[in-house]
Amino acid sequence: MTQAKSGDSVAIHYTGRLEDGTVFDSSRDRDPLEFAIGSGEVIPGFEAAVVGMTPGDAKTEVIPAEKAYGPHREEMVMVVERHHIPDDIPLDVGQQLQIQGPQGQIVPVMVTDLSEADVTLDANHPLAGETLIFDIELVSIQG
């Protein structure tokens, strides 16, 4: 039977969870995730876990932060004086916003703390610093 290798397009069903068991995403209630191995469309540890699988194979893979979304970097957390944020933008902890980076690029950030004077914004991926556990099933290989 054919094994998945770099360059193959694959269809995968997966459930992703944190070490405490919290499920953060799953394809089980929708179409399988499709991607090309080696294209960088998914995190490196997930892609590597699929290599060598054959259609119908299932496994559980523990992916450390370094092979997922990387470490949580404190330099990507910023405290902004609240008056710098337009009044028409309601703010809540957990809310996602977009800010303009130094070169004009759009950067997604999450509000992680609020006070009367300041807003703390985190530009890390929400799963940065987390070990991720995936239940993976290879549905098909398109070649």
- Which residue is it, tokens 């992680």? 112
Query: Residue 43, exposed/middle/buried by CB under 10 A (0-12, 13-18, 19+)?
Result: buried
Task: Specify the pLDDT at position 143.
Answer: 62
**Which residue in 79, 78, 43 sits closest to 64, CA to CA?**
43
Mean pLDDT by 10 residues, the chain (143 residues): 93 98 96 96 96 97 97 95 87 91 89 94 95 98 82
Task: Specify the pLDDT at position 81.
Answer: 94
d(CA 5, CA 141): 9
Q: Which two tokens stand for residue 107?
A: 């950067």
- Which residue is it, tokens 């397009």? 9
